[in-house]
Amino acid sequence: MTQSIETILDAARRHCAEDIAPNVDAWNAAAVWPRAASDKAGALGLTGLYAPEEFGGQGLPLGEGIRVYEELGRGDGAYAFALSMHNICTFAGCGYGTDAFKAAWAKELTSGRKLANFALTEPQSGSDATNMYSRAVINDNGTWTINGAKAWVSLAGEADIYFTVVKTTDQPGHKDMAMIAIPADTPGLTFGPLYETPSYNFLPMSEMYMKDVVVSEDNIILPIGQGLQGSLMAIDIARVSIASGCCGLMQSALDTALAYSSNRKMFGGKNLDLDGIQWMLGEVATDLEASKLLYRAAANALGTPEGPLMAAHAKRFVPDAAVKAANTCTQVLGGMGLLQPYGLDRLSRLAQMLRIVDGTTEISRVVIGRSLQKRAKTLAPLPIPKGFGES
């Protein structure tokens, strides 16, 4: 049975309070994905947010389901990010996969018994997704043989299936791009050494290598010609999801600073009684409220013509605000803010990571700038005053 958004958000809050926040430091120390925690997230209904009820999902609209990552982000932004990517893949598989794929994988993914991740970026290309070398050759029996490499693959070696974007010809452009799901146990699929990520060691990331990997045509998620368009939609959802998680991170940083400054005594009173401290944290609070409004508006716009631009606005503004918030809250604690038990050093590094993944804030500025250029063409030009600039 599907649950209401209020029930799901309450479950996410409990998951954060009981499973994420108390254990994230131990997860990082162990440098192992907390499968028991993600299994519990599945049992709570957090791994099939957008999938239809017939496949065991919650059937939530994107505008509602994305709010879950704000709650999870209070505990850890990297954990929220990983679950957001799993939910995007589950959404794609349940919505666009073949009947055979849905029969084999849909309920496994919505339940969280199996985890999925997305593989688009390659070692030589990041934001330029069409500069892709991974190739799929279609065999006479309909199977696909894939060769190539992907970079920055989350849940590397931990996920059970990887939604992978490939090209099917050597022609430039995107008209030959497709998405196919590659199970982790497929012969020829391997992973490189894990990247060293100081603030989220528990989230395995590495390069993924495909050497004569053969995949059934049943696993085609997006057919030839639709791979890039579908990937861009997935990235827009991811960008708004990241903004949601950043709001949780900002709330965590603000609460840490408030709890400390309301107790720390200085100059005959408490730190929070000082105007300077109130102004610093008040600015964080305003940025947080603005960020919530922006990401929620962007989430509701996904799937509409305004969706990509709204996602760019959210990805541009909110992670930048999160970096600023983490640094400001660290400053409020003074030297204590540098100590690991307070967690602000981790939040600062996480905020910086979230500025970069799934399109840097600079790429979002490019998207916004192009939109402004289009708008400018619709406006009557303003004349330059006669004689202005003449010598």
Final residue of a domain: which of 207, 225, 243? 225
Tens-digit pLDDT profile for the chain (391 aa)?
578 899 999 999 999 999 999 999 999 999 999 999 999 999 999 999 999 999 999 999 999 999 999 999 999 999 999 999 999 999 999 999 999 999 999 999 999 999 999 999 988 876 676 778 999 999 999 999 999 999 999 999 999 999 999 999 988 888 999 999 999 999 999 999 999 887 789 999 999 999 999 999 999 999 999 988 999 999 999 999 999 999 999 999 999 999 988 888 777 778 888 888 899 999 999 999 999 999 999 999 999 999 999 999 999 999 999 999 999 999 988 888 888 888 889 999 999 999 988 888 899 999 999 999 999 999 998 888 877 666 5
Final residue of a domain: which of 59, 93, 115? 115
In terms of Cα–Cα distance, which of 131, 106, 303 is closest to 221?
Answer: 106
Sequence-distant contacts of 171-176: CB under 8 A, at least 24 apart: 172/130, 173/130, 174/129, 174/130, 174/227, 174/228, 175/225, 176/224, 176/225
Reduced to 3 states (helix: H, G, I; strand: E, B; else coil), residue 153 is: strand
Asked if residue 274 lies in contact with residue 332, where contact means CB atoms within 8 angstroms, the answer is no
Same domain, yes or no: 110 and 172:
no
Write phi, then psi, for 285 (nearest 5 degrees). Answer: -65, -40
Same domain, yes or no: 268 and 324:
yes
Same domain, yes or no: 213 and 275:
no
360 assigned to some structural domain: yes
pLDDT at 336: 81
150 assigned to some structural domain: yes
385 assigned to some structural domain: no
Same domain, yes or no: 198 and 280:
no
Q: Which domain holds residue 24?
A: 5-115
CA dist., res. 233 & res. 239, Å (int): 10
Same domain, yes or no: 158 and 263:
no
Final residue of a domain: which of 98, 115, 132? 115
Same domain, yes or no: 268 and 329:
yes
Reduced to 3 states (helix: H, G, I; strand: E, B; else coil), residue 180 is: strand
Same domain, yes or no: 178 and 237:
no
Same domain, yes or no: 251 and 346:
yes
Q: Based on the number of CB atoms within 10 Å of its own CB, is 345 exposed (0-12), middle (13-18) or buried (19 or more)?
A: middle
Reduced to 3 states (helix: H, G, I; strand: E, B; else coil), residue 332 is: helix
pLDDT at 271: 82
Asked if residue 38 lies in contact with residue 94, where contact means CB atoms within 8 angstroms, the answer is no
Kindly provide the residue ranges of all beta strands, DSSP E only, lying in the chain, ordered along the sequence.
116-119, 135-138, 144-154, 161-167, 177-183, 189-191, 205-215, 220-222, 265-266, 269-270
40 assigned to some structural domain: yes
**The domain spanning residue 42 has which CATH number?**
1.10.540.10
* Count of the separate structural domains present in the chain: 3
pLDDT at 389: 62
382 assigned to some structural domain: no
Same domain, yes or no: 219 and 169:
yes
11 assigned to some structural domain: yes
Asked if residue 140 lies in contact with residue 94, where contact means CB atoms within 8 angstroms, the answer is no
Same domain, yes or no: 239 and 372:
yes
In terms of Cα–Cα distance, which of 115, 134, 114, 116 is closest to 124?
Answer: 134
27 assigned to some structural domain: yes
Same domain, yes or no: 131 and 55:
no
Same domain, yes or no: 45 and 18:
yes
Q: For the chain, give percent helix, strand, coil, nearest 5.
A: 55, 15, 30
**The domain spanning residue 260 has which CATH number?**
1.20.140.10
